[in-house]
Structure 1
C-alpha cells in the first residue's frame, strides 16, 4: 500500500521545480542554449542570444561555439539559410571583439557559413588564420572551401588549397579527391585527372557510386579520347612500373582514341570476367621501400649495439650483389614454440 508523503514540499517534482526556480540566469541560459543545440533550433537560439545581451550575461567560449554550431547545422534548411549565416557572422564578430580565441571547431563552423554564401576565398582565409590562433586545421576545416571552389569550377584555387593541405600534413579522403577529380574533368585538366585518379587508387579501396559516375563521365567524354601519345618507350614503361611497385607507371596517358567503359566483376581467382586480364599483386614503390628501410634501421639502432648494426650496414653496401639475406637464428627457431622446441640446426642447414 502506498503511504502518503507527510511533507508534500519534499516531493521530487516539487524539488525539481524549486531547483529550476533557484537557477541563476547564467545557468538557465546555458541549459536553454544546450537544448537549442541538441534540437538545432536557430530561431530560439537567436532569441536567447539577444536576451542574454540585454541582461548583460557574460558569454564564454562554450556559448559562442554552441551558437556557431547551431548556425552551421541549420544551413541545410533553405528557409533558414540566410538567417543562419547572418547571425553566425554576428556571433563570430562578437566573439573576436570579446578577446576569446577561436578553436579549430569555431573556425570550421564559420568556414561553413562562408562557403554557404559561395565565398570560398573567405572560407580558405579562415583556415589560414588558424595559425595565428595556435590551432591546427583538420580535414573538416578545409572541406567547406574546397567543395565551394569545386562547385564554382575554380580549379586553380582548389589546387592551391590542396597544396596547403599537404603542407599542413592533412590528407584528402574520397569526397575531397572525388571533388578535385570532378572539377579537373569538367575543366579539361587532363594532367590533374591523371593525378587524382592515382590518388584515388592509393587512398580508397572501393569507390562510392557517386565517384564511379565521375570516373565514367571522364572516360566517356571527348577530352579523354584525345589524351595520350601513340609512341612510347616500352622498356621505360616496364622499368617505371617496377619502380612503382608494379601498380602503375606514372608516365601519363598511353595511347589515343575512345575508351571502352564497362562495369565488370572480378572472379575469385583475380581475373576480369570481361577482358580476361588478371589482377596483379602490387608491392610498395621504391620511395616507400626507402622510408621503410630507414624506419627498420632506426629501430635496430635503438635496440641493438649501434657499432654492430653499422658494421652490418657497411657489409651490405659492399655486397650489393645479394638480393636477400636469410637470418639463420630465425630459421632455426621457426615453428619451435612448443614444449620440447628449441633451436633447430637441421632447419638452418636446409637453407644452405
Structure 2
C-alpha cells in the first residue's frame, strides 16, 4: 500500500502490476502502456490520422465561417480535393456553400452567435445595395467583381459535387444555392430551390424565399415578385420589413397603385412602424404622378364608416379615395393626438375584447398550475373583492429604480403622482413581494406609516414566498400555442413563463394602466409574433422617471402608433427611430391637396392661434385614451412643468397676438399690457402664474 503499486497474477501465471491513476501509464502483462493516444496510434494509426485531419479541417472551416473568410475556406476545400485524404460530409458542404453564396452577392458578413443567416436579405437586392455599403458596416467585407465571379463558380461546383456524391441537402444548403442563383439574376432557379425543399419534405423559412423575391423585385417584375409572396403565404411564411420594403419599391417604381395600397396595409398589420428607407419610398409614391391619378372621385361614405368600424378603427381597406396631387409632410403628432401637419385627429385602435379576455384567462390558468398552495387563486379572489383599480404599480421595479435597496419613498412618490392622473383619484394597486415590506428598514416610522396607509386603503398586495418577487407562470395567446405547438414543445415553452408577474394579470383583468419600466422582453409573448402583446403594452404601459420636480410619467401615446388610413383617404405613417420616444416620433402625413384644408376636427387648444404660433412639436402632455382603461376616463396631464421663461414667452405671444390681430386697433402710447401686471404679480408672490387657456 505504501508504494501505491498493487499486483495480481493472470491465468497463465504471469505477474501483472497496476500503478495508480496518477501515473502516465500502466504495466499490462509486463509491458508499459503509455498515453492513450500512443496506444491508439499503434493499434489504429490510419483511423487516428484521418480523425485528426477531419478535426483540423472542421476547426479551420469554422474559423473561416466566423470571420467570413471565403478565400481561405476555398483554399482548404481545394487542398482536400487535391490530396483526397478526407471525405466531406453535409456539414462541410453546407458551410462552404454559405461562404460561397455570401461572397457571390458581394458582401460577406462574419457570423455571430445567434445569427440566423438572414442578414443577406438587406444586401441582396442587387449591386445598388452592395455599392452603398462600406467595409466597416456591420463588419461586412466588400468583395470585387473578380472574387464574386470565383465565388459563384466555386459555389455551383460544390453544389454539383454534393449532388454527385448524393449528400442530403438541407434547408441551409438549398437557401445558399438560391442565393447563388440570385447572384446571377436567376429568380426562377432561386424559386426552384424552394420547391425542391417542399419535395424533400423540408419547410421553407423566410430566408429561403428571399433570393427569389429580391431577384424579381430588383428586375422590376411585379407579377413574379407577388407570385413569390403568394407562395410564401400558402406555406405559412409571412414577409417582414425587408421583404415588404422590396415589394413596395418595385410597386412604386412601376407605378402599380393597387400593389402599393396592398403593401401599405401589409406594413400596417405586420410592421406598424416603418423604417426610414421605407418612409422614403412611401414619400416618393405620394409625390408621383401615378399616385395623383388613382382614386375614387365618389364613394359611399356609409360603406367606408362601416368598414372602419368592422376593422377596429384606423383603416377601411376600400382603396384609394379622392384624386389629385398629394401633400406629403414629415410632422409630429401632438400630445392630444392631432396631426401637426393637417390637423386631423388620429384614432386609438381598440383591442379586441374577446382577445383580451382570452389573454387574461390564459395567464390565470397556467399561473394556477405553477403556483403552490393556491396562492394565485387567493390573489384572484382578493382582486375580485377589492377591485377594480385604474392603475397597477410594479412595486419592485419602482422601489429598486437606480438603486439596490428597496425604497418605499420612491414607490410612494410614484403612487401619489399617478393617483392625481386617475379620474377617481383612488390609490392604484401596488404589488410587491412581502419580503420587501417586512423587517429591517421597513420598521422605521416613516416607512411603516406609508405601508400602513396602503394597507388600510386596501391598495397593496404582498406576493407570497415562492413567487420569486411576484413571479408566476404565465401563458400568452395560449389558445394559439395549443393549436400550433406540439405538447413537448409547449411543455418546454411553459418553463419560460416563470418570469411573468402578478401585476401583469391585474392590469389585464381591469384593463387599466400598468406603471413599470420593465419592457417585458424576457416574456414568452415576444416569441409569439408582433401581434397582441405589443399592442396591449402600447395602450397600457406607463413609464416613469424622477427629476428635480418630482416623478415624471410617460403616458401611453394619445393614438395608436401604427399606419392609419382615415375615412376620408388620408394617411399617417409612423417612422421607427432609435430612441423610440413617442413624444419625438416623426410621422408621414399624406393628404390630397384639394381637401387638405377641409373641415376636420381641429385641436381645440390652439385652434384660435395663427398658424405660425401653433405647436410644432409634441410636448410631454399625454392624453390617455378613454376606451380601454378602467372607467374610460380622459387623462391629460403635464409630465414636467415647463420652465418659467417658456411659460412667460408663450403667454406673451398669445396676448400679443390677440392684441395685434385687429388691424384697426391702435395702441395708446401710455397703454400697459396685462403682461406687465402679471410680471409684477409674479415678482411680488415669488412664483410663476400658469394660465389654463
Task: Output the TM-score relative to the length of structure 2.
Answer: 0.39
Provide the residue aligned with 2:63 in structure 1: 35
- Cα distance 1:159–1:63, how it changes in 2: closer, same or farther (>3 A)? same
CA distance in 2, matches of 1:294, 1:265: 34
Which one of 230, 236, 240 corresponds to residue 297 of structure 2? 230
Q: Is the contact made by 1:174 and 1:204 (CA closer than 8 Å) also made in structure 2?
A: yes
Question: Out of 269, 294, 297, which is 1:202 matched to?
Answer: 269
Q: By how many angstroms is 1:295 displaced?
A: 6.2
Tell me the equivalent position of 1:81.
148
Equivalent residue number for residue 50 of structure 1: 78
Q: What's the offset of the Cα at 1:220?
A: 0.3
Q: How many residues align?
A: 294
Does 1:334 pair with 2:334? no
Aligned pairs (5 A) from 1:102-251: 102-251=169-318
> Contact conserved, 1:247 with 1:283, CA < 8 A, in 2?
no
SS at match of 2:160: helix
SS at match of 1:67: helix
Q: Which runs of 5+ in 2 are unaligned?
A: 1-47, 107-142, 367-380, 389-428, 432-453, 459-630, 632-693
Match of 1:8 in 2: none
1:133 is displaced (CA, Å) by: 2.3
**Residues 120, 149 of structure 1: 8 Å contact kept:** yes
- CA 1:212–1:29: 2 relative to 1, 3 Å: same
Q: How many Å separate the matches in 1 of 2:358 and 2:180?
A: 43
* Structure 1 segment 257-272 matched on structure 2, within 5 A: 257-272=324-339
Deviations 1:171-203 (A, max 9, x none): 111111111111112222211111101111112
**Aligned partner of 2:168 among 62, 77, 101:** 101
Structure 1 unaligned spans of 5+? 1-20, 304-327, 342-350
TM-score by length of 1: 0.75
1:315-348 deviation digits (Å, cap 9, x = unpaired)? xxxxxxxxxxxxx99754526999897xxxxxxx
SS of corresponding position for 1:47: helix
Q: CA RMSD, aligned part only?
A: 3.0
Q: Deviations over 1:228-251 (max 9, x none)?
A: 111111111111110111111111
Deviation at 1:96, TM superposition (A): 2.1
CA contact 1:112–1:123 (8 Å) conserved in 2: yes
Q: Distance in 2 between matches of 1:83 and 1:235?
A: 62
Task: Answer with 219-228 or 52-61: which moved more.
Answer: 52-61
Q: Is the 8 A contact 1:264 1:272 kept in 2?
A: yes
Residue matched to 2:685: none
Instruction: Tell me the SS of whatever aligns to 2:331.
Output: coil
Deviation (angstroms), 1:265? 1.1
1:119-153 deviation per Cα after TM superposition (whole angstroms, max 9, x unaligned):
11111110121122222111111111111110000
Kindly indicate which of the two structures has a greater share of residues assigned to helix: 1
In 2, the alpha carbon distance for the partners of 1:154 and 1:274 equals 36
How far apart are the structure 1 equivalents of 2:201 and 2:163? Answer: 15
Q: Which has the higher strand share?
A: 2
Shift of 1:31: 2.5
Question: Is the deviation greater in 159-168 or in 44-53?
Answer: 44-53
Work out which of the residue numbers 59, 63, 88 in structure 1 matches 2:92. 63
In the alignment, the residues of structure 1 paired with residue 247 and residue 358 of structure 2 have an alpha-carbon distance, to the nearest angstrom, of 32
**Alignment match, 1:7:** none
Query: Are the equivalent residues in 2 in contact too, given 1:101–1:133 (CA < 8 A)?
Result: no
